[in-house]
Amino acid sequence: MRKKKLLWIIPAAIIGMALFIAIGGEVVMLLWNWLLPGLFGWRTLGFWQAVGILALCRILFGSHGFRGPRSSGAGPRMVERWGRMTPEEREKFRQAIRDCWGQVAAEPKPSAGS
């Protein structure tokens, strides 16, 4: 029964990707053709060239869905552990990081809820 309920996700995902490519390519093409030929004298782009630039930017600057607690600083568990450490334990931890990585460890930032 659950398979039937989730079966609509596949066509919706395909349509969503096609819409993203169509709208994103069109927006990139329009912005490029509006700004860059007048500012720098560069050539205008076609739709598929704009889609290629959109894909290239996604590859170079996109997150690829790998954002986790480490990418935004210390995770909540580490912030909690850091808060319970004594100053001596913190210094011992920093020294272990220096020995391992050869750089100074920064204090984790407390979350907004703490």
Question: What is the tally of structural domains in the chain?
Answer: 2
Instruction: Identify the pLDDT of residue 110.
Output: 61
Higher pLDDT, 99 or 27: 27
Instruction: Identify the pLDDT of residue 43.
Output: 94
CA torsion through residues 38, 31, 59, 71, sign: positive
| For residues 3-32, average pLDDT | 89
Same domain, 82 and 55: no
Same domain, 14 and 46: yes
Instruction: Tell me whether residue 55 is in a domain.
Output: yes
Domain ranges, residue 94: 75-114
Whether 28 and 54 have beta carbons less than 8 Å apart is answered as yes
Instruction: Tell me whether residue 79 is in a domain.
Output: yes
Grouping H, G, I as helix, E, B as strand and the rest as coil, residue 61 is helix
Does the pLDDT value for residue 69 go beyond 50? no
Does the pLDDT value for residue 71 go beyond 60? no
Give residue 47's pLDDT band: very low, low, confident or very high (50, 70, 90). very high
Whether 92 and 99 have beta carbons less than 8 Å apart is answered as no
Give residue 113's pLDDT band: very low, low, confident or very high (50, 70, 90). low
Q: Which pairs with CB-CB distance under 8 Å and at least 24 residues apart come from 54-57?
A: 54/21, 54/24, 54/25, 54/28
What is the pTM assigned to this prediction?
A: 0.51
Same domain, 12 and 55: yes
